[in-house]
Amino acid sequence: MTININHATNDISASGSGSVTIDGATPGGGGSPDLFAESYDGTSTKPVATGTNSVAIGRASATGSNSFSAVTWDTTSTYGSQGFGAVSMGYQAKSQGNYGLALGSFCIQSGSSNAVSIGRGSEATEKYSFALGAYAKSDIIGKLAYTGNKITSTTGSSQQGTFVLMKQTTDATQTALTTDSSGTGTARNRMFIGANTAYAFTGMVVGRETGSTGDLAAAWQVQGLVKTASNESPTLVTETINVVDNTPSWGFDIATFYASTGVVGIDFLVTGQASKNISWVATITTTEVINP
C-alpha cells in the first residue's frame, strides 16, 4: 500500500499494497524527511553543548544540564544557557538561573530560577520575575516590568511595574504583604526602591476571611508617590487610601522601610482580626523613573 500526501491541497490518498511512503520517506528503511536546513559559512565556531542532555543550535552555548540555546552569536560560556533547564535565544542572550528564559538580543535572566526576560537588553534577576520590552528590569520576586526603552543609561530607568502582594493573617497584628507570601527581611519580595528613584503607584487591596467561618471582606483603593535620595533614604511624599468597603473594621496602611543599604522601599500593611483566618491580596501598578 502507498499513501500519498498532496501538501498543496492537504489531500491524502492510498493505493496498492506494500510499504507506506510519505514524501519519499519509508519508515523502517530508505530515506528520511528533512527536518532542518542550514547554510554554514565554513569558518564560524560551531555550537557548544557541554551540559548533560543540553542542545545548542547555530553559534550558541548550552552549558547547563538539560538546557537549550540557539543563535546567541557566541559559543563561550559568557552567554547562552547556563542554568538547569534554561533557554536562551538571540544575540548575546544569556539565561543563568535554573528554568529561566532569555529571548532577544542582550536579554539577561540571572540569579534566580523561573525568571523571564524578553525583548532587547531587558533583565529579570529574581525568581518568577518578568522583564518585557527594551531595557526593562525586574529585580523583585514575581514583579512584571515593561517598557519600550530606557530614558537614561540605566536599565529600568523608565518603566511600568506590576506587583501582586499577598499574605494570610490569623490575628490582629499589623503585617506587611509580600510578593511570595513569606516573611519580610532582606528577601526581595517587597516594593524595593533604589537610589535616585521615584515611583508613582496605584492599586487595589482586598481581604477575605476563610469560607469555613464566614464571608467577611474588605477593600481599599490606594495611590501615592514615593521617592529616594542618592543615599537611598525613602520619602512617602503623598498617599491616598480610599475605603471601598470595610464592614469588618480591619486595617490597612502604607509605610516606608529602610533596613540597610539596598533594603529600602515601601510596605503595604494589613491588620486582620483575632482568631480569624484572612487572605489578603494587593495589586499595585507603578510608574517608575530613575535619574542618577
Residue 4: predicted pLDDT: 56
2-52 tens-digit pLDDT? 545 555 555 555 555 554 434 444 444 445 556 667 787 788 888 999 999
**Distance of alpha carbon 211 from the chain centroid:** 32
Which CATH number belongs to the domain containing residue 95 in this structure?
Answer: 2.150.10
Cell of 80: 547562552
pTM for this predicted structure: 0.85
Task: Give me the phi and psi of 160, to 5 degrees please.
Answer: -105, 140
**Contact between residue 121 and residue 134 where contact means Cβ atoms under 8 Å apart:** yes
Residue 26: predicted pLDDT: 42
Residue 44: predicted pLDDT: 83
Of 121, 141, 156, which one is at a domain's C-terminal end?
Answer: 156
DSSP output for 46-65: PPEE-STT-EEESS-EE-ST
Please state the domain count of the chain: 2
More confident residue, 32 or 124: 124
Q: State the Cα–Cα distance between residues 90 and 148, nearest whole angstrom.
A: 18
Residue 11: predicted pLDDT: 54
Do 285 and 197 lie in one domain? The reply is yes
Do 112 and 176 lie in one domain? The reply is no
Residue 262: predicted pLDDT: 79
Residue 13: predicted pLDDT: 56
Residue 223: predicted pLDDT: 98
Q: What angle do CA 196, 198, 204 make, to 5 degrees?
A: 150
Residue 185: predicted pLDDT: 74
129-155 tens-digit pLDDT? 999 999 999 999 999 999 999 999 999
Q: What's the chain's average pLDDT? A: 89
193-233 tens-digit pLDDT? 999 999 999 999 999 999 999 999 999 999 999 999 998 88
Do 53 and 122 lie in one domain? The reply is yes
Spell out the residues 6+ positions from residue 8 whose beta carbon is closer than 8 angstroms to its own.
Answer: none
Domain membership of residue 127 (yes or no) is yes
**Contact between residue 38 and residue 47 where contact means Cβ atoms under 8 Å apart:** no
Residue 100: predicted pLDDT: 97
Do 181 and 126 lie in one domain? The reply is no
Residue 86: predicted pLDDT: 97
What is each CA distance from 154 to 32, 79, 91, in whole angstroms? 51, 21, 20
For residue 276, give the nearest of 225, 236, 216 by alpha carbon: 216
The amino acid occupying position 246 is N
Of 156, 185, 201, which one is at a domain's C-terminal end?
Answer: 156
**Contact between residue 71 and residue 54 where contact means Cβ atoms under 8 Å apart:** no
Span 236-244, average pLDDT: 98
Residue 45: predicted pLDDT: 86
Span 223-247, average pLDDT: 96
154-174 tens-digit pLDDT? 999 999 999 999 999 999 999
More confident residue, 235 or 18: 235
Buried b (16+ CB within 10 A) or exposed e, 41-62: eeeeeebbbebeebbbbbbbbb
pLDDT over 80 (residue 286): yes
DSSP output for 144-172: EEEES--SSSSTTSEEEEEEEEEEEESSS
71-101 tens-digit pLDDT? 999 999 999 999 999 999 999 999 999 999 9
Residue 23: predicted pLDDT: 44
Residue 7: predicted pLDDT: 52
Do 196 and 232 lie in one domain? The reply is yes
Residue 38: predicted pLDDT: 76
Domain membership of residue 38 (yes or no) is no
Do 217 and 99 lie in one domain? The reply is no
